[in-house]
Structure 1
Amino acid sequence: MAEQNNEEMLNAMASVQEVKVGDLVKGEVLTVDDNKQAIVGIIGAGVEGVIPLKELSTIPVDNVTDIVNIGDVIDLVVISEIGKDKENGSYLLSKRRVDAKKVWEDIEKAFEAGEIIEAPVTDVVKGGLVIDAGVRGFVPASMVEDHFVSDFEDYKGKTLAYKIIEIEPSENRLILSHRAVVEVEKEAAKKELMEKIGAGDVVEGTVARLTNFGAFIDLGGVDGLVHVSEISYSHVDKPEDALTVGDKVTVKVLSIDPEKDRISLSIKETLPGPWDNIEERAAVDSILEGTVNRLTSFGAFVEVLPGVEGLVHISQISHKHIATPHEALQEGQVVTVKVLDVSEENKRIGLSIKALEEKEEDEVVVEETYEMPEESTGFTLGDVIGNDLKED
């Protein structure tokens, strides 16, 4: 009987696992000490160990019970031996390091497979973004976007997709790029859009960037250019005078060059034409205010509506005799004019300044000769020579 008891005791002792630093063990949570550490029984070893709060998780937590509760069985690694006579356990254990090892293994597999991973941005530091992928990762500023970003504060808390650029678990080094993901997505979107749209199509977009020569419009991951001359029928000096980044706009596709990845757009082509219903908006005998845009030898071109110029023939500038329009007018001058005739079909308006002025009694009309203008104006020779060479 005594021999049997001794044999059972020896078998029990033999079955007890010897615990060494670096071992992977399983532990059952026995108690939680003031929510700052967990006391566990190491299964198969007959000894206890302690898990400090900081060794419970790869992410910061305030309480032990945020991660484990009494009765949970968890995987642990032995960090060090703290003495058989120490209170609350004989070994210092870590769940965090076991979890981190598994995370590194998963990340290495994703890296080898060329997979994209997602993780939240936990902090913004000088030089880039800190992310939590189960382990700490870093995104250099140059790898955040495919364009310059002056302030990264808005990225904090956002979950982004990344391509793994560099990984070294032994040094806890993980370098990621969100820019690489953005570039691939944009390239795919560009290819799809190029196949979907064509010249003449009218589409919606958002003003993405403004330059001194035009506005770049985001059509859904692909940018097209609206040249400053295509923003409005009215003259626009600078794109920012008419547009703001973030504006939603309707644009017409003028042309697509797949080889150069170039899309030319127009905003003004989606707007009512400046000559539409002109016979109602600038009816004969109506009085309008306009700006002298150009002076020629035969008269002055006055913009009376956005994109609409009318001709004040030299004979209609003044009751007084003038040899050239420059004697009475200058470019940029604001004048009041009377509409003499208008044609929507021919895009032509005849105007008069002198019709709104009183003629002095001693003024006489002098017959004049005119030279044919060198430019195409939309006006006939008769219009240029003038039909009003006699006093009103």
Structure 2
Amino acid sequence: MTETLLKSWNSNLELEELANKRRTGEITRGAVSSTTKMKMPTEENGRVVTKEVEVAIFRLEGGIRAYCPASEFSAHEFSSLIGFVGSIQEFVITALDLENEIATVSVKKADEIKSAAFWEELRTRKDGEALSEEVYEGVISGYNPQSRTIFVKVNGTNCFMNTAEWDHGRVRDIETQVTRGSKVEVKVLRIDEERQLVQVSRRAAVEDPFNQLEQMKDMEGIAGKITNVHPIHGIFVQLDNGLEVKGIKPRSLPEPDVGDIVSCRIRTIDKESRRCKVVIYAYPRGKKQKKDVASFLFD
């Protein structure tokens, strides 16, 4: 093990710091600097064996290193931990090998501690009918394109979110928005204690942009971006508050293209059916002329 693992600490002061954290069970933060395959002592069927496993290498403040075998990184099994490089994780110190000067940590055990406290809080809130009042900070841990389910870790607990709960408006490119490791504020919608499921919503934690439309109604001009030009459903414009609305234009104005920046005014607002219509009146950055595909015939 000493041939493959760099020492975790470089002084007695750093060792004392790690020993104190281990003794008190303090939850510590660190960044995953790399992953590799190493021979490490791991628990298997109730006994400790040394075998080659994937290991996440953490860097703590002051340059201290710590090692987390894949089996202690999460309650879920990942095909590889490489996707977590650069992410910040919380863990507890589980072992200090004084002979080889190696610190072993467990993200999974830290999650269990935080999750137990989180579940207790959720039970209390549910009994008091205040489940969805609190806003929590979560970290996106994954996305399933087949079920269109977003996975978010909140206080050590793996929660799930339906794509419809990501935002108030249409969500076209969710894959580009749900980056693993990015932080997101959510509210809890419901819990299932029997199956240990927690459903969360980002949409419930952010202001509804429809509430801003009334303030924008009397503005002379609003900036927008063309997001879709459909031959049947028409023009769609994304306003600067992120809301996508229906757009119409006068005949004198050339047809927009996706990506064009436009100036528009609000024409109608129907908050109950969540519909808004704007009138496009100008292209403030100018309108690019489309090239005539047959122009080469006259060159």
Q: TM-score, normalised by structure 1?
A: 0.39
Q: TM-score, normalised by structure 2?
A: 0.49
Structure 1 or 2, whichever has the larger Rg, is 1
Instruction: Compare relative contact order (CA 8 Å, sep 6+) and give the higher one, 1 or 2.
Output: 2
Which structure features the higher share of strand residues? 2
